[in-house]
Amino acid sequence: MTSPPLPPNQQLVKRHCWPVVGERAPSQTTTPWTVTLAGEVKVDRHWSLNDLAALPQTTRRIDVHCVTRWSRLQMEFRGIRFAELVTDAGGEPLYKPQARFVSFVARSERSHSTSLPLRELLDLDPLVALRADGAPLPIEHGGPVRMVVPGKYFYKSIKWLERIEFLTDDRLGYWESEAGYHNGADPWKEQRYIASSLSKQDAARLIRQRDFRARDLLGLQANGMELANLNAVNARLRNADFRNTSLHGADFRGANLSNAHLESADLREANFRGADLEGADFSAADLRGADLRDASLFGASFAVIDTDGNRNNVASIDQSTKVTATSLDALTPEQRDCFRSQSASVEER
C-alpha cells in the first residue's frame, strides 16, 4: 500500500478526528446570518442562508493541512464555488477590475479575518461551504457557512463567513498579524511562519536573564543554549528552536509553544501545564519528571515514526512524566501508542 502524499512535516490524524482550532464559536447576535460583498465591488450584494442554499452546490474532496502539523485527506465539503458566487448571471465579475486581494471576515468576537490574492483564489477554486462529511457544518467548525480553500494551510479557510471584501492592497489577517503565520501559507513549501522580528541582541539579553515571562518570542533561536530553570510562564514561543537546549526545570506553564522544536532538549522536571504544544516536536527529548498535564497536544510528536511504524528518537518518558489522558487523545494514533508504551503517569479524567 502506498501512503498518501503529505506536505513536509505533516501527520495524519486518526480517522474521523477533526480538531477544533482557533475560535470555537461565532459571536452571538440575533440578526439573521448574511454573507455580504464589500470593498471594490460593482454592486451591493448579500445572501441569506436560504439564498446560499438555493445556489448551485458542488461537492468536493479536499485535503486539510493545519499549520500545527495535522492533516486530514479527502474531506468531503459541499457548497458554492467562490468563483461562481462572485460572478453575475452574465458571467461578469461582481468586483471591480482594480480588486487584487480578498479579505474574508468572520462573524466572531474579534472579527477574525484572513486574506488571499484574488488571482490565487480563482486558481485554487475554493468553496463557500455549508456542509462537511455529508452533514451541515457543525458550529465549532464554522457552521453555518465557512470558506474552504484547498492548497493552503487551513488558517486561510475562515469559519463563520460574514463578509467578503475586495481590496486593492492586501490586509493581513488575524493569525498573520498576531501570530506570525506566513501570509503565503503554502504547505508544500512549508510557509508556516514569518521570520522572528526579535533582534539578536534582544534575544541574547533575554536568554542571559532567563526570563521570558509573557513575552512574544516567535521563532526564537535558542538551540544548544543553557536555559535551566528558565521562567517562560505564558510566553509566546511559536516555532521557537530549543533543539539540544538545556531546559531542566524550566517553567512553561500556559506558554504557547506551538510548532516549537524541542528535539533532544533536556526537559527533565520542566512544567508544561496548560501549555499549547500543538505541532511541537519532542523527539529524543528527555521528559523525565516533566509535567504535561492539560497541555494541548494536537499534532505534537514524541518520536520519529516512519511509514512502516518504526520508532526512532523516542523521547525519554517514564513514571515521573505526568500527562492527562485527554491530552494524549489529541495525538495521532502512532504517537499516542508510542507515548503510552513508555509507562508515563497518565491521569485518566
Ligand X SMILES: Nc1nc2c(c(=O)[nH]1)N[C@H]1C(S)=C(S)[C@@H](COP(=O)(O)O)O[C@H]1N2
Q: Which residues bind ligand X (CB under 6 A)?
A: 18-23, 66, 106, 108, 112, 141-142, 154-155, 157-160, 175
Which sign, positive or negative, has the C-alpha torsion 223, 228, 231, 232? positive
Q: How far apart are CA 280 and CA 1, in angstroms?
A: 29
Q: How far apart are CA 129 and CA 75, in angstroms?
A: 12
Q: Which does 193 bind (CB under 5 to 8 A by kind): Mo ion, ligand X, none?
A: none
Q: Which is nearer to ligand X, 141 or 273 (CB)?
A: 141
Q: Which is nearer to ligand X, 187 or 219 (CB)?
A: 187
Q: What's the min distance (Å) between Cβ of 305 and Mo ion?
A: 22
**Burial of 93 from C-beta contacts in 10 A (0-12 / 13-18 / 19+):** middle
Q: What's the min distance (Å) between Cβ of 43 and Mo ion?
A: 34
Q: Which does 157 bind (CB under 5 to 8 A by kind): Mo ion, ligand X, none?
A: ligand X
Q: Which is nearer to Mo ion, 47 or 181 (CB)?
A: 181
Q: What's the min distance (Å) between Cβ of 35 and ligand X?
A: 13
Which residues touch 267 (CB under 8 Å, ≥6 apart)? Answer: 247, 248, 250, 282, 285, 286, 287, 290
Q: Which does 173 bind (CB under 5 to 8 A by kind): ligand X, Mo ion, none?
A: none
Place of cell 527533565: 268
> Of 307, 246, 26, nearest to 145 (Cα)?
26
Q: How many CB atoms lie within 10 A of CB 243?
A: 20
Q: Which is nearer to ligand X, 19 or 219 (CB)?
A: 19
Q: Which is nearer to ligand X, 20 or 194 (CB)?
A: 20
Q: What's the min distance (Å) between Cβ of 21 and Mo ion?
A: 5
Dihedral angle, C-alpha 321, 19, 115, 43, nearest 10 °: -160
Q: How far apart are CA 302 and CA 299, in angstroms?
A: 10
Q: Which is nearer to ligand X, 129 or 220 (CB)?
A: 129
Q: Which does 20 bind (CB under 5 to 8 A by kind): ligand X, Mo ion, none?
A: ligand X
Q: Which is nearer to ligand X, 51 or 109 (CB)?
A: 109
Q: Which is nearer to ligand X, 113 or 271 (CB)?
A: 113
Site residues (vs Mo ion, CB under 5 A): 21, 66-67, 154-155
Q: What's the min distance (Å) between Cβ of 105 and ligand X?
A: 9
Q: Which does 274 bind (CB under 5 to 8 A by kind): ligand X, Mo ion, none?
A: none
What nine digits make up the cell of 15?
480517522
Q: Which does 159 bind (CB under 5 to 8 A by kind): Mo ion, ligand X, none?
A: ligand X
Q: Which does 127 bind (CB under 5 to 8 A by kind): Mo ion, ligand X, none?
A: none
Q: What's the min distance (Å) between Cβ of 238 and ligand X?
A: 12
Q: How far apart are CA 273 and CA 296, in angstroms?
A: 9
Q: Which is nearer to ligand X, 71 or 271 (CB)?
A: 71
Q: Which does 158 bind (CB under 5 to 8 A by kind): Mo ion, ligand X, none?
A: ligand X
Q: What's the min distance (Å) between Cβ of 26 and ligand X?
A: 7
Which regions of 256-341 does DSSP assign to beta strands (E)?
Answer: 304-305, 311-312, 322-324
Q: What's the min distance (Å) between Cβ of 72 and ligand X?
A: 9
Residue 5 · residue 85 · CB < 8 Å: no
- 3-state SS string over 17-60? CCCCCCCCCCCCCCCCCEEEEEECECCCCEEEHHHHHHCCCEEE
Q: What's the min distance (Å) between Cβ of 206 and Mo ion?
A: 27
The per-residue b/e assignment along 163-173, b for 16 or more CB within 10 angstroms, e otherwise, is bbbbbeeebeb
Q: Which does 19 bind (CB under 5 to 8 A by kind): Mo ion, ligand X, none?
A: ligand X
